[in-house]
Amino acid sequence: MARDPFRQRRRGRLARVLGVLTAMVVLAVAAVAVFGPRLVADRLNPVTAEAEWPVSAKAQALHDRLVIGDLHADALLWGRDLSVRRTEGHVDLPRLDQGNVAIQVFTAVTRSPRGQNYAENDTEAPDNITPLVIGQLRPVQTWFSLKERALDQAARLRHLVEAEPDRLRLIRSRDDLDAVLANRAANRRVIGAILGIEGAHPLEGDLGNLAVLEGAGYRLIGLTHFFDNELGGSLHGQSQAGLTDFGRAVVTEAAQRGMVIDLAHASPRMVRDVLALPGTRPIISHTGVHGVCNTLRNLPDEMLRAVASSGGIIGIGFWPDVTCNDSPAGIAASIAAAIALVGEDHVALGSDWDGSVGVPFDAAGLPALTQALMDEGLSEAQIAKVMGGNMVRYLREVLPRA
């Protein structure tokens, strides 16, 4: 049978069209993966100041002598290369080094409800993180499992540690912490990274998964985030409930394992329930002082006093929803108020960098806070405690030995 040249040409044109369409789809997916998360991160995590804050030579010299630690940053969520300096977001290794940060908690966010707000969120609301995970082309299992998302973010940090051993170390124990601090004292500017999780829903209701997350490197566990979960009530959930039986089991075992319990998004009832359990020394990693900034994001002041009385620490956030003042001076005023409320040995930094918030400076701009604390009238000893001393002391007391 003779071949139809017209049919062959039509088939050829169709093949070329399909090839072009396939290429366009691949390019579109690649563009979303490369640029989409970056654009989202840039929009949701701005530095709000239009210019650098002035820092005196005296403040810079003090800042350079400090051991600085921060209890909360969500940089792992955005899928960017943290080994190089970026223009978007707040945190990467060069900016942490420029800000003289010694210890940084990297917190995994695995789910947040659509329409997220500080007042009330439905546990069943559609999830904001799933489209981000898919857009970043993360492994398929992370599209459907919160546990896998947490493990993927932990693996991302471990890979960075392996690729940058002279710049970043993973802290799992007191010995690891002491090794990082010894390196820095010897003028080797390694940064210590601690893995935390924002909301314990990646446990997926299974206590056995606590050991899985611990094995992946997690040492700080926030019990809730913006919605109620299997452990109990969120500060921003519908129930305002306390700990469930599962929540009590998780807190008890986590404390026995030397994991840090974080109550940053816990309901007041949950805070009281955790404090009633023996052997717990919880923290509030990123918050403000309600008496200074009367917003729904800040727990009542008596909750902060109760956590401090148990031996915990309070991390003061950097964004205006917790400080009611978008400047280094506003953060310093909240820190001073926290010291007056709970004592200078229980106040720390809890920036919430890269946490879908605007802040007045990124990690590189941290000397501006030292300047503001000096301007607020804090002594050098108080500044040293707040900027990292209290965090280091607490971790040495709570983390497992090795």
Confidence at residue 27, expressed as pLDDT on a 0 to 100 scale: 38
- The yes-or-no verdict on residue 395 having pLDDT over 70 is yes
Nearest Cα to Cα of residue 231 among 259, 260, 201: 201
The whole-angstrom separation of Cα 46 and Cα 360 is 8
Mean pLDDT, to the nearest integer, of 249-261? Answer: 97
pLDDT band at 402 (very low <50, low <70, confident <90, very high): confident
The whole-angstrom separation of Cα 278 and Cα 1 is 88
Mean pLDDT, to the nearest integer, of 80-104? Answer: 96
The whole-angstrom separation of Cα 144 and Cα 130 is 8
Question: Exposure of 77 by Cβ count < 10 A (0-12 exposed, 13-18 middle, 19+ buried)?
Answer: buried
The whole-angstrom separation of Cα 398 and Cα 127 is 33
- The yes-or-no verdict on residue 318 having pLDDT over 80 is yes
* pLDDT above 70: percentage of residues in the chain: 90
Asked if 166 contacts 180 with a C-beta cutoff of 8 angstroms, the reply is no
- The yes-or-no verdict on residue 329 having pLDDT over 70 is yes
Q: Where does residue 186 fall: left (phi above 0), alpha (psi -120 to 50 degrees), or beta otherwise?
A: alpha
Look up residue 387 and give its amino acid: M
Mean pLDDT, to the nearest integer, of 312-339? Answer: 98
Which residue matches tokens 């994991």? 259
Nearest Cα to Cα of residue 263 among 327, 321, 350, 181: 350
- The yes-or-no verdict on residue 13 having pLDDT over 70 is no
The whole-angstrom separation of Cα 387 and Cα 129 is 31
Residues contacting 361, CB < 8 A, separation 6+: 47, 49, 53, 318, 328, 368, 369
Structure tokens that stand for 392 in this block: 């280091």
- The yes-or-no verdict on residue 293 having pLDDT over 60 is yes
Nearest Cα to Cα of residue 160 among 150, 151, 170: 170
Q: Report DSSP letters for 292-353, one per residue.
A: TS--TTSPPHHHHHHHHHTT--EEEP-SHHHHSS-SHHHHHHHHHHHHHHH-GGGEEE---B
Confidence at residue 362, expressed as pLDDT on a 0 to 100 scale: 98
Q: Report DSSP letters for 250-308, one per residue.
A: HHHHHHHTTPEEE-TTB-HHHHHHHHHSTT---BEEEE--TTTS--TTSPPHHHHHHHH
The whole-angstrom separation of Cα 195 and Cα 104 is 9
Indicate the pTM of the whole model. Answer: 0.90
- The yes-or-no verdict on residue 368 having pLDDT over 90 is yes
Q: SS3 of 221, please?
A: strand
Confidence at residue 361, expressed as pLDDT on a 0 to 100 scale: 98
The whole-angstrom separation of Cα 77 and Cα 357 is 13
pLDDT digit string, tens, across residues 19-44: 544 443 333 344 444 445 566 667 89
The whole-angstrom separation of Cα 107 and Cα 283 is 14
Residues contacting 266, CB < 8 A, separation 6+: 223, 224, 232, 233, 234, 235, 274, 299
The whole-angstrom separation of Cα 377 and Cα 396 is 29
Structure tokens that stand for 102 in this block: 């010694």
pLDDT band at 4 (very low <50, low <70, confident <90, very high): low
Mean pLDDT, to the nearest integer, of 343-358? Answer: 98
Mean pLDDT, to the nearest integer, of 238-266? Answer: 98
- The yes-or-no verdict on residue 153 having pLDDT over 70 is yes
Confidence at residue 286, expressed as pLDDT on a 0 to 100 scale: 98
pLDDT digit string, tens, across residues 47-83: 999 999 999 999 999 999 999 999 999 999 998 999 9
Lowest mean pLDDT among 35-49, 111-125, 161-175, 336-350: 35-49
Confidence at residue 24, expressed as pLDDT on a 0 to 100 scale: 36
Structure tokens that stand for 347 in this block: 């106040």
The whole-angstrom separation of Cα 103 and Cα 400 is 17
Confidence at residue 25, expressed as pLDDT on a 0 to 100 scale: 36
pLDDT digit string, tens, across residues 130-150: 999 999 999 999 999 999 999
Confidence at residue 350, expressed as pLDDT on a 0 to 100 scale: 98
The whole-angstrom separation of Cα 347 and Cα 331 is 12
pLDDT digit string, tens, across residues 264-285: 999 999 999 999 999 899 999 9
- The yes-or-no verdict on residue 17 having pLDDT over 70 is no
- The yes-or-no verdict on residue 6 having pLDDT over 60 is no
The whole-angstrom separation of Cα 303 and Cα 284 is 10
DSSP state of 52: P
Confidence at residue 317, expressed as pLDDT on a 0 to 100 scale: 98
